[in-house]
Amino acid sequence: MNFKKKILCIGAGYVGGPSMAMIAFKCPDYRVTVVDVNSERIDAWNSPQLPFYEPGLEDIIKKRRGKNLFFSTDIENQIRENDIIFVCVNTPTKNYGAGAHMAADLQYWEKTARQILKHSRSSKIVIEKCTLPVKTALAMEKILSSSRGKIKFEVLSNPEFMAEGSAINDLENPDRVLIGSHETKSGLKARTELTEIYQRWIPSSKIITSNIWSSELSKLVANAFLAQRVSSINSISALCEKTDADISEVARAVGTDDRIGRKFLNAGIGFGGSCFKKDILNLVYLCRHYGLDEVAAYWESVVKINEYQQQRFIAAMLHSMFHTLAGKRICILGFAFKADTSDTRESPAIYITQKLLSEKAELVISDPRALKNAAADLSGAEGNVQFIEDPYEAARGCHALVVLTDWSLYRMLDYKKIYRSMTKPAFIFDGRNIVDREKCFAIGFNVYAIGKPALTHL
């Protein structure tokens, strides 16, 4: 078949896979290929068992794979064959050398730029889809123009705003698509080419354009603002616990103001996921680099409150369970960093379970999708840990239930049945405020939630 456009994505991860699947789904006359250095990942994309769980993803992969959507490890040939290249490799926090634990580690991104330069035989549009520090496109352009040949590369910034767990809906109906380009003739031509792809299913009014630097920075800022809302409501949850105010009532009262808005005001054990913390730290690093220490300190406090929230949660458990967890059996309900994903990267559950193990608690971990990743995350941890998917089985004989992920399943459990099978006095620590507190208290549980008065029989 003669395809109208040939698109390549380098990086077959949580963003590269779903975002390219959506392009292939909406544009059956385009050929979309996704490549990765990780052959196990590519094998998974080509198998019935996709590399991770994302609602709705399997359906669109099945519809387009082998028709106009391909997954491959042949990076060199694919660079040669495609005209439009999205770069969607990982950009984790650097854990070595200058900027360690703050700056973005750009080694994967730079390696990709060099691969593109080495293997290209014709001019190409190169699109940054991964999240990068502002001004990275400049470095990419310097690398790509270093051979001074006839081949020209136009670099665009097109950050991705999808969230895991709702990725397919976010990609299909985004609030906006952002395209940053140079305002030169070739920059505007490349921008039009990329706009044409998105216009296949997204109204033009939602396709925003800007200069490249604004586009790169907007992605970091959007994540920082979202994380800031979570830390803001979590900071107030601590005050609620001291004053008998209820954080859900406060969030409702505050969020019904249109100027503030209702979303992202759920108090809990803090944000996890691979991006919020890394992107804020990246922003903080950039501010310090430019001598903006006050601005850096402001954004750094968002991460500090997130850590404080998790420390508070552990301290409250220890205090309520008579100052010792040693030998107590504790059932962890949920290990994923949020509901509807198998992803556990930077999940608050990692820190909390490690702390519980250091208190010599015995843990039974339950999660409908993330147990494989949970086992990998805790593989080096010392102590007694079991992994049991069935929550009823997991809770049997336990002293406490600890809800760490907002899976809707945990709203609907038969807590009466669970209570009967547990050691008494039985406790619930609801780190996501999803359990019906009054009902569980009436059953006999001692119930502790975030930013709400404790309901206890003790």
Between helices 212-243 and 293-320, what is the axis angle to 10°? Answer: 40
Phi-psi region of 152 (alpha: psi -120 to 50; beta: other; left: phi over 0): beta
- CB neighbourhood size of 164 (10 A): 25
Give how far Cα 172 sits from Cα of 85, 175, 401, Å. Answer: 21, 10, 37
Report what 90 binds from ligand UGA, ligand NAD, none; CB cut-off 5-8 Å by kind: ligand NAD
Q: Which of residues 110-149 bind ligand NAD (CB under 6 A)?
A: 111-112, 130-131
Among residues 37, 75, 151, 163, the one that binds ligand UGA under rule CB under 6 A: 163
| Residue 223 is a binding residue for ligand UGA (CB under 6 A) | yes
Pairing of strands 427-430, 207-211: unpaired
Residues in the chain: 458
Q: Give me the helices (H) in 106-184, please.
A: 107-119, 136-144, 167-172
Report what 268 binds from ligand NAD, ligand UGA, none; CB cut-off 5-8 Å by kind: ligand UGA
| Residue 10 is a binding residue for ligand NAD (CB under 6 A) | yes
Residue 223 or 228 with smaller CB distance to ligand UGA: 223
Measured between its terminal Cα atoms, the distance across the chain in Å is 72
Would you call 275 a catalytic residue per the annotation? yes
The CA radius of gyration of the chain, in Å to the nearest whole number, is 24
| Residue 162 is a binding residue for ligand NAD (CB under 6 A) | yes
Among residues 3, 4, 38, 39, the one that binds ligand NAD under rule CB under 6 A: 38
**Residue 216 to residue 130: CA distance in whole angstroms:** 10
| Residue 105 is a binding residue for ligand NAD (CB under 6 A) | no
Stretch touching ligand UGA by CB under 6 A, among 53-61, 144-152, 265-273, 414-422: 265-273
Q: Which of 172, 124, 132 is nearest to 21 (CA)?
A: 172
| Residue 226 is a binding residue for ligand UGA (CB under 6 A) | yes
| Residue 164 is a binding residue for ligand NAD (CB under 6 A) | yes
Among residues 12, 265, 302, 352, the one that binds ligand UGA under rule CB under 6 A: 265
| Residue 11 is a binding residue for ligand NAD (CB under 6 A) | yes
- From the CB of 107, what's the least distance to ligand NAD, in Å? 8
Catalytic residue (one of 88, 275, 287, 440): 275
Give how far Cα 374 sits from Cα of 153, 306, 336, 345, 385, Å. Answer: 42, 21, 8, 10, 11
Among residues 11, 174, 268, 368, the one that binds ligand UGA under rule CB under 6 A: 268
Number of H helices, E strands in the chain: 17, 14
Q: What are phi and psi of 430, to 5 degrees?
A: -100, 100
| Residue 33 is a binding residue for ligand NAD (CB under 6 A) | no
Residue 197 or 447 with smaller CB distance to ligand NAD: 197
Lookup: tokens for 458: 């003790």
| Residue 272 is a binding residue for ligand UGA (CB under 6 A) | yes
| Residue 308 is a binding residue for ligand UGA (CB under 6 A) | no
Element (H, E) at 235: helix 212-243
Report what 208 binds from ligand UGA, ligand NAD, none; CB cut-off 5-8 Å by kind: none
Residue 62 or 176 with smaller CB distance to ligand UGA: 176
Q: Which of residues 235-274 bind ligand NAD (CB under 6 A)?
A: 274
Q: What are phi and psi of 449, to 5 degrees?
A: -125, 180
Stretch touching ligand NAD by CB under 6 A, among 5-13, 142-150, 314-322, 327-335: 5-13
Question: What residue ranges bind ligand NAD (CB under 6 A)?
Answer: 10-16, 35-38, 41, 75, 88-91, 108, 111-112, 130-131, 160, 162, 164, 274-275
Give catalytic residue positions.
Answer: 275
